[in-house]
Amino acid sequence: MVFKTPTTSLSRHTPTAVFYREKNLVEDMLKSGSQSDFVSVMMEHILGRQIKPEEQRVMNAVLITMMEHGFTPSAIATRSVYMSAPENLQGAVAAGLLAIGSQFVGTVENNARLLASLASLEGEERRTYAKEIVNEYRGRKAHIPGFGHHLHYPDDPRAKRLIEIGQENGFSGKYIESLHLLSEVIDEITGRHITINATGATAALLGEMGIPVDLMRGFSVIGRTAGLVAHIAEEQQRPSGRYIWDLVDKSIPYED
């Protein structure tokens, strides 16, 4: 089989220059007098288009929110690996990132897929489909991605604020509408209030910005990477890895 040669538009280099897409890193992006902003540069580099200030503001809020939530499975993996291999900081970060999967932070994509389907419909059709979704998940006793949080109630404070920030910056279209509709239908059918969570709000905001669903998890990864580096910084000062090992080993009894 012969494979067609792919091309790249991300980067090229000469002995005296590096280009990010069509821009010269040193002469355009880092030039004197310009205020280089990592978040905008990163968005333009990933998405391959110009970024509006409103998008940059929402992305900052999303990245900050995804950064940290204490001793999560991610942080526990990072600290356990760092204790064992401190010469290898990147391995500890990598271990923690591997926990961004289908069950927690990574649910952003699953929620976005639901929102995308809903956003493509209008009026009663949209509401009817929302009911179908909720009933289908309830039928198989599954969590609806983007809803509920085992630590935050009645509402995930982050979700509410992220949605407001979206609104303040002009992002309150079909994805946000669909998220609110889904929330309403969930409460109606279950007979109790289940919060929109931070990944649900993130999914809607990234959807409003036109970010492809399959790429959304990438932004959770970027935000969380910074948080895991903070856990390593703290581990360097106040080691917890050994204590966690001992604690877990002693707390889970052997049973034949």
Q: Which of residues 61-90 bind a second copy (CB under 8 A)?
A: 61, 63-65, 67-74, 76-77, 80-81, 83-90
Angle at 205 between CA 201 and CA 208, to 5 degrees: 140
Of 101 and 173, which has the nearer Cβ to a second copy?
Answer: 101
Of 135 and 230, which has the nearer Cβ to a second copy?
Answer: 230
Single residue of 1, 122, 140, 192 touching a second copy by CB under 8 A: 1
d(CA 53, CA 174): 21
In sequence order, the β-bridge partners of residue 19 are: 12, 24
Supply the minimum distance, in Å, between the C-beta of residue 183 and a second copy: 18
Supply the minimum distance, in Å, between the C-beta of residue 191 and a second copy: 20
Site membership for a second copy, residue 60 (CB under 8 A): yes
Total residues at interface with a second copy (CB under 8 A): 128
Residues 155-174 within binding reach of a second copy (CB under 8 A):
155, 157-158, 160-162, 164-165, 168
Residues 188-227 within binding reach of a second copy (CB under 8 A):
212, 214-215, 217-219, 221-223, 225-227
Single residue of 49, 98, 128, 138 touching a second copy by CB under 8 A: 98
Single residue of 97, 112, 118, 206 touching a second copy by CB under 8 A: 97
Q: Give residue 33's region: left, alpha or beta (phi > 0; psi -120 to 50).
A: left
In sequence order, the β-bridge partners of residue 18 are: 13
Q: Which long-range contacts (CB under 8 A, 24 or more apart) does 134-138 make?
A: 134/182, 134/185, 134/186, 134/189, 134/190, 135/189, 138/189, 138/190
Supply the minimum distance, in Å, between the C-beta of residue 136 and a second copy: 19
Burial class (CB in 10 A: 0-12, 13-18, 19+), 223: buried
Q: Would you say 55 and 44 are in contact if contact means Cβ atoms under 8 Å apart?
A: no
What strands, in cross-sheet order, belong to the sheet with 11-14?
A: 11-14, 17-20, 23-24
What x-and-dash track marks residues 114-133 binding a second copy by CB under 8 A? Answer: --------------------
Single residue of 22, 122, 139, 141 touching a second copy by CB under 8 A: 22
One DSSP character per residue, 117-150 reads HHHTS-HHHHHHHHHHHHHHHHHTTPPPTTB--S
Supply the minimum distance, in Å, between the C-beta of residue 194 and a second copy: 14
* Secondary structure class of 19 (helix, strand, coil): strand
Of 124 and 255, which has the nearer Cβ to a second copy?
Answer: 255
Of 103 and 135, which has the nearer Cβ to a second copy?
Answer: 103
